[in-house]
């Protein structure tokens, strides 16, 4: 249960940082990101932290052969299965939840503790659910964007959900055991290594903070809607210049 | 109207050595199936040649993919209100350099995924209307796993054309828009075009 203290510590740290965030005046998306000033500070903190984390991730990426790296990814993904299962049930996706149990059983045994994703080869589909997604499907659709130190982009809803997820999941307890820091660190490094390819793009962006927010936010909507979000309203993008510029695709006789 | 489509098809098929003649159906799903399918087949077949000569691949992509895209509409969506008052020529110029960027990136991705490319176009679903629709595809990645890639199509006088690519929910138009609109407002469109042309701009997939 020491985990609780560390999480509370992180939240307190966030609040402290929030306290000194008053001077930031940028407001690129007041609707989804009203805490932008604070979030930008945490983003800068995480970027600073990355100066240490990135070289480790690069080393890990070099040392680990691709199949081994895939195995580590599979292992952590398999540990998430119970969380997915519970949230599938909470969302009434019973048929899918059966498939998640099947995956977990197959991969934990034949797949040797989850290192091999045998279930996918057997054609058992993979789903990903968590409490944040459940809350969203229950009607808590809009939540403020919130950047966490160490953990990165989230929302108030999803951050709260993630914390609760680690408690009720029996496998989450693995992370609460005596070797928990080792596991958290390995998972962190493994996750970081997956995003190495995107570094150049983030660094060369006009506004890296906004790029990260956009990519995370859109992908999160995609997860919440299980890969089928409503099509966005592109007309909104044109509305502003309709008065001055001719629409493109008229003239069709 | 029909005549115009036929004319476009005729011209396009000359450029693509008659291959486009297969594209009888002009609904978005068939368009994606035929055109991307053909590009993937070509890349798989001539992988060595294209690896040695990436420009030839860019040429192929430009020739086969461009007729499917409404790049100018994308450019307008991306510029939004920043596209106000800059004039038609500037928008064209901007659209051209975005196109070059897109072709360059798409070609690189094709080479990277090389022989393991497999494309699965999902059937059209009920949610299309007469002017706007979405084609959903799954691209099989090397080492297992699938990337969902969707295309947003709208109907133009020349038929259905794609104007946005959405990878795992991340829209090309939205993501670029939120970078480029403020940059244009801060530095002006000329500076942005210059930056794009010099190849400094690399963001999102």
When mean pLDDT is compared across A55-59, A89-93, A231-235, B177-181, the lowest value belongs to: A231-235
Give tens-digit pLDDT for A120-130.
889 899 999 99
Q: What per-residue confidence (pLDDT) applies to A170?
A: 59
Confidence of residue B36 (pLDDT cuts 50, 70, 90): confident
Q: What per-residue confidence (pLDDT) applies to B47?
A: 85
Q: In chain A, what residues touch B1 (CB-CB under 8 Å)?
A: 252-253
Q: Cβ distance A207 to B182 under 8 Å?
A: yes
Q: What per-residue confidence (pLDDT) applies to B112?
A: 76
CB nearest B80 (choices: A206, A222, A241): A241
Q: CA of B150: how far to CAs of A51, A133, A226, in Å?
A: 35, 22, 14
Interface test with A, best of B178, B189, B192 (most A CBs within 10 A): B178
- Report d(CA A181, CA A170) in Å as an integer: 17
pTM of the model: 0.81
Q: Quote the DSSP letter at residue A251.
A: -
DSSP per-residue string spanning A67-122: HHHHHHHHHHHHHTHHHHHHHHHHTT-HHHHHHHHHHHHHHHHTTTTTTS-HHHHT
Average pLDDT rounded to a whole number, residues A143-172: 88
Q: Which residues pair with B69 in a beta bridge?
A: B162
B199: left (phi over 0), alpha (psi -120 to 50) or beta: left
Q: In chain B, what residues touch A28 (CB-CB under 8 Å)?
A: 178, 182
Interface test with B, best of A249, A251, A252, A253 (most B CBs within 10 A): A249
Asked if residue A137 has pLDDT above 70, the reply is: yes
Q: Higher model confidence: residue B162 or residue A197? A: B162
Give tens-digit pLDDT for B78-127.
998 888 778 888 899 999 988 988 888 888 888 877 656 677 888 777 55
Composition of chain B by helix, strand, coil, percent to 5: 60, 20, 20
Q: Higher model confidence: residue B137 or residue B4? A: B137
Asked if residue B9 has pLDDT above 70, the reply is: no
Confidence of residue A168 (pLDDT cuts 50, 70, 90): confident
Report residue B152 as tokens: 């947003």
End-to-end alpha carbon distance in chain A: 70
When mean pLDDT is compared across A41-55, A194-208, B119-133, the lowest value belongs to: B119-133
Give tens-digit pLDDT for B135-191.
988 887 766 677 888 999 998 998 899 999 999 999 999 999 999 988 998 888 999
Question: Do residue B144 and residue A120 have CB atoms under 8 angstroms apart?
Answer: yes
Question: Do residue B156 and residue A252 have CB atoms under 8 angstroms apart?
Answer: yes
Q: In chain A, what residues touch B76 (CB-CB under 8 Å)?
A: 238, 241, 245, 248
Confidence of residue A229 (pLDDT cuts 50, 70, 90): confident
Q: What per-residue confidence (pLDDT) applies to B128?
A: 59
- Which ipTM score applies to this complex? 0.78
End-to-end alpha carbon distance in chain B: 35
Q: Higher model confidence: residue B27 or residue A139? A: A139
CB atoms within 10 A of CB A65: 9
Q: Which residues of B touch A (CB under 8 A)?
A: 1, 70, 72-73, 76-77, 79-81, 83-85, 91, 127, 132, 134, 143-144, 148, 152, 154-157, 163-164, 168-171, 173-175, 177-180, 182-183, 200-204
Q: What per-residue confidence (pLDDT) applies to A23?
A: 42
Average pLDDT rounded to a whole number, residues B29-53: 86
Exposed / middle / buried, residue A208 (Cβ in 10 Å: 0-12, 13-18, 19+):
middle
Question: Do residue A249 and residue B134 have CB atoms under 8 angstroms apart?
Answer: no
Q: What per-residue confidence (pLDDT) applies to A176?
A: 65
Report residue B50 as tokens: 């294209």
Confidence of residue B25 (pLDDT cuts 50, 70, 90): low
- Report d(CA B18, CA A160) in Å as an integer: 58
Exposed / middle / buried, residue A142 (Cβ in 10 Å: 0-12, 13-18, 19+):
exposed
Average pLDDT rounded to a whole number, residues B42-60: 87
Give tens-digit pLDDT for A71-95.
999 999 998 899 999 999 999 999 9
């Amino acid at each position: 249960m020491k985990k609780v203290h560390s999480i509370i510590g992180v939240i307190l740290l966030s609040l402290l940082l929030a306290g000194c965030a008053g001077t930031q005046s940028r407001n690129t998306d007041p609707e989804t990101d009203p805490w932008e000033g604070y979030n930008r500070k945490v983003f800068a903190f995480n970027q600073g932290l990355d100066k240490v984390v990135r070289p480790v991730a690069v080393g890990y990426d070099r040392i680990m052969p691709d199949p081994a790296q895939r195995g580590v990814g599979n292992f952590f993904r398999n540990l998430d299965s119970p969380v997915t299962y519970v949230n599938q049930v909470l969302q009434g996706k019973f048929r899918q939840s059966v498939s998640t149990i099947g995956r977990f059983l197959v991969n934990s045994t034949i797949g040797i503790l989850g290192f091999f994703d045998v279930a996918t080869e057997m054609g058992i589909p993979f789903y990903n659910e968590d409490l944040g997604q459940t809350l969203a499907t229950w009607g808590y659709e809009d939540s403020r964007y919130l950047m966490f130190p160490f953990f990165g982009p989230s929302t108030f809803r999803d951050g709260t959900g993630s914390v609760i997820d680690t408690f009720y999941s029996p496998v989450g307890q693995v992370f609460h055991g005596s070797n928990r820091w080792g596991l958290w660190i390995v998972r962190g490094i493994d996750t970081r290594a997956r995003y190495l390819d995107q570094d150049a793009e983030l660094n060369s962006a006009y506004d890296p903070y906004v790029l990260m927010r956009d990519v995370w936010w859109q992908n999160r909507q995609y997860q919440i809607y299980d890969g089928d979000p409503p099509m966005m309203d592109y007309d909104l993008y044109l509305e502003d210049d309709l008065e001055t510029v001719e629409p493109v695709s008229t003239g069709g006789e | 109207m029909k005549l115009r489509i036929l004319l476009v098809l005729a011209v396009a098929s000359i450029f693509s050595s008659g291959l486009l003649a297969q594209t009888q159906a002009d609904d978005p799903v068939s368009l994606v199936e035929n055109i991307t399918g053909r590009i993937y087949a070509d890349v798989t077949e001539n992988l060595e040649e294209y690896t040695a000569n990436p420009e030839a691949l860019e040429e192929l992509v430009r020739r086969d993919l461009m007729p499917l895209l409404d790049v100018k509409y994308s450019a307008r969506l991306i510029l939004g209100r920043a596209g106000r008052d800059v004039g038609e020529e500037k928008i064209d110029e901007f659209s051209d350099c975005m196109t070059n960027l897109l072709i360059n990136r798409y070609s690189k991705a094709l080479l990277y995924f090389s022989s393991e490319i497999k494309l699965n176009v999902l059937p059209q679903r009920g949610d299309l209307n007469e002017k706007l629709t979405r084609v959903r595809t799954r691209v099989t990645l090397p080492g297992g796993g699938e990337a969902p890639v969707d295309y947003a199509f709208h109907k133009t006088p020349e038929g259905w054309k794609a104007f946005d690519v959405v990878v795992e929910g991340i829209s090309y138009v939205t993501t670029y828009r939120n970078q480029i609109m403020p940059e244009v407002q801060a530095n002006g469109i000329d500076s942005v075009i210059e930056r794009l042309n010099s190849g400094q701009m690399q963001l999102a997939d």
